[in-house]
């Protein structure tokens, strides 16, 4: 099993709803290491880079408004196979369909406000870590 890094971000509703501690506890309990963490408020420009694959979608304006609506918490999380492992812990994009026991399944119920971001590949993890921790 290869040691990996991924980029995890607690979205504005996680911070607003005071769920940071619970979500971070799950990541720690799984045995992953949080090796960097910062709270920041995103601007339109960085959200446009991060969600470049969604810029032409009809829901993009709503997504950008949500992501800039309050502080987020960015983290570098490390562990064996952590990219896929975190995606599994998070559950599917649509929180309405996310099984109980997943972070999205337990704390969210919408596709647009789904509480947490996690990189979808090793390659994107490095790009996102560089983007948010440069
Ligand atoms: P994920 O966050 O699971 O990697 P993604 O990269 O496809 O999913 O989309 C990024 C975010 O955009 C997602 O977390 C929530 C929002 N989003 C995606 N599809 C959507 C849709 N059909 N309607 C509203 N928001 C959507
Ligand atoms: Mg994604």
Tell me the chain's radius of gyration from C-alpha atoms: 14
Active site residue 117: yes
Nearest ligand 1 atom to the CA of 113 is 15
Q: Which domain holds residue 56?
A: 4-133
Please tell me the pTM assigned to this model. 0.97
- Encode pLDDT of 1-22 as tens digits: 789 999 999 999 999 999 999 9
In sequence order, the β-bridge partners of residue 118 are: 8
The Å distance, Cα 96 to ligand 2 centre, comes to: 17
* Three-class DSSP category at 72: strand
**Number of structural domains the chain divides into:** 1
Residue 11 CB–ligand 1 contact under 6 Å: no
* CATH code for the domain in which residue 65 is found: 3.30.70.141
Confidence of residue 134 (pLDDT cuts 50, 70, 90): confident
For ligand 1, the distance from its centroid to the CA atom of residue 111, given in whole angstroms, is: 6
Could you report the per-residue pLDDT of 25-68, keeping only the tens digit for each? 999 999 999 999 999 999 999 999 999 999 999 999 999 999 99
């Amino acid at each position: 099993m290869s040691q990996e890094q991924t980029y995890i971000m607690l979205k504005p509703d996680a911070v607003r709803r005071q769920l940071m501690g619970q979500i971070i506890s799950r990541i720690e309990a799984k045995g992953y290491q949080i090796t960097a963490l910062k709270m920041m408020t995103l601007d339109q420009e960085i959200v446009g880079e991060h969600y470049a694959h969604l810029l032409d979608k009809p829901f993009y304006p709503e997504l950008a408004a949500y992501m800039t609506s309050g502080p987020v918490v960015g983290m570098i999380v490390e562990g064996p196979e952590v990219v896929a492992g975190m995606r599994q812990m998070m559950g599917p994009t649509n929180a309405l369909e996310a099984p109980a026991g997943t972070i999205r399944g337990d704390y969210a119920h919408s596709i647009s406000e789904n509480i947490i971001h996690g990189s979808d590949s090793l390659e994107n993890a490095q790009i996102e870590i560089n983007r948010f921790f440069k």
